Amino acid sequence: MSEPTSRFLRACRGLDVDATPVWFMRQAGRSLPEFRALRDKWAFFDVVRSAELTAEVTMQPVRRLGVDAAILFSDIVVPLMAIGVEVEMRPGVGPVFPEPFRTEADLARLRPLEPLDAPYVTDAVKVLVAELDVPLIGFAGAPFTVASYLVEGGPSRTYTRTKALMYGEPDLFRRLLFALADLAVSSLRGQIGAGAAAVQLFDSWAGALAPDDYRTHVLPATRRVFEGLADLDVPRIHYGLGTGLLLGDIAASGADVVGLDFHVHLDEARDVVGGLAVQGNLDPSVCLAPWDVVAGRVDDVLARAGGRPGHVFNLGHGVLPETDPAILRRVVERVHGGR
């Protein structure tokens, strides 16, 4: 393995850096006026299915905020759409599946993802790698989080049907999660093959589970995703919200970097994940406060990281749409050592 030169990739590897690298989950999106202007003209999936529009939206936050990494603009449901599962993106709601996953017969709808199913993704990655001067992060949804949308039929607060399936039909649940793991592996391998320099697996809603259930019913499929990438030399980041009690298990998932949400103190969480690098973990809503409050909280995260190698600064979840991008820019500058 050759030593990377970019701050972001060096921090993912636990190597020393000239300044702490920073990027923001959901850095492309509603907080940017240029994103809103583009979305006034194009539907969400029109953007996703166009390599040119995807590349443009992916680069918007890199230009405006000065972040150390770009993340491909797409969505965790795109591989399902690419294999022919019907999905709608409802404004103000999120992804909706008109025909949710209900029975064993629905497994037949989850055929393998072939490279030609989503050429717009790999084309966008190639355009971006040629144009960006920071690394591009590819991503996929983790099996549990994608299953929650597919089983519930859309966003949920309680994950009732998903948990009912997990407890009531554990074997079918396992087969569903392993099918989604294979989908994530194919999608991530395609993105890495096209030039993505790191990948993040979003298990955003894993925090809905008790540790024993996570370990028994979810962790094996998540491990399968990381095992499926083990021969590729790119850092693998795992992120989930509300995962404070799951961090020990997540650290054993095969990830190289553990994304921390804002419910945990970074220094304490680091003790739990052993030698792995960490990413996080400013509360996104802090960015709606006056600058002196934001600055204090940024400094607190940095103090808890203590200048030790292996920290990528990020939010503890995605940028809120109400966020002023000028504040995000100032956060980047402060993390890099400015005031």
Which residues bind to ligand 1CP, rule: CB under 6 A? Answer: 25-29, 39, 44, 71, 73, 75-76, 89, 94-95, 139, 155, 202, 204, 318
The CA distance from 50 to 228, in Å, is 27
Nearer to ligand 1CP, 75 or 117 (CB): 75
Quick one: 17 or 142, whose CB is closer to ligand 1CP?
142
Between 79 and 318, whose beta carbon lies closer to ligand 1CP? 318
Q: How far is the CB of 57 from ligand 1CP (least distance, A)?
A: 8
30 flagged as catalytic: yes
d(CA 128, CA 45): 18
Other CB atoms within 10 Å distance of the CB of residue 103: 9
How long a stretch of residues is the chain? 339
- 136 forms beta bridges with 70
* 329 catalytically annotated: no
Closest residue to ligand 1CP, judged by C-beta, is 94
- Minimum distance of ligand 1CP from residue 75's CB (angstroms): 4
CA–CA distance, 112 with 118 (Å, rounded to integer): 12
Note if 26 is an active site residue: yes
Q: Nearer Cβ to ligand 1CP, position 52 or 299?
A: 52
Catalytic residue among 30, 174, 175, 297: 30
Segment (H or E) for 90? strand 88-90
Max alpha carbon distance in the chain (Å)? 58
Which token pair is 225? Answer: 């995703």
Nearer to ligand 1CP, 139 or 173 (CB): 139
Of 25 and 113, CB closest to ligand 1CP: 25
Q: How many CA atoms lie within 13 A of 181 on its CB side?
A: 20
Q: How far is the CB of 187 from ligand 1CP (least distance, A)?
A: 12
Residue with the two structure tokens 């979810």: 218
149 has catalytic annotation: yes
Cα dihedral 276, 282, 283, 285 sign: negative
At residue 328's C-alpha, the angle toward residues 56 and 287, to 5°, is: 130
In the DSSP assignment, the letter for residue 75 is -
Among 39, 49, 64, 189, the active-site one is: 39
Q: How far is the CB of 303 from ligand 1CP (least distance, A)?
A: 26
189 in active site: no
Nearest distance, CB of residue 95 and ligand 1CP, angstroms: 5
CA dihedral 66, 67, 73, 74 (to 10 degrees): -160
Q: Which of 26, 215, 223, 297 is catalytic?
A: 26
Question: What token pair was written down for 65?
Answer: 């905020």
CB 108 within 8 A of CB 116: no
Q: CB of residue 21 vs ligand 1CP: minimum separation in angstroms?
A: 16
Residues with active-site annotation: 26, 30, 39, 75, 149
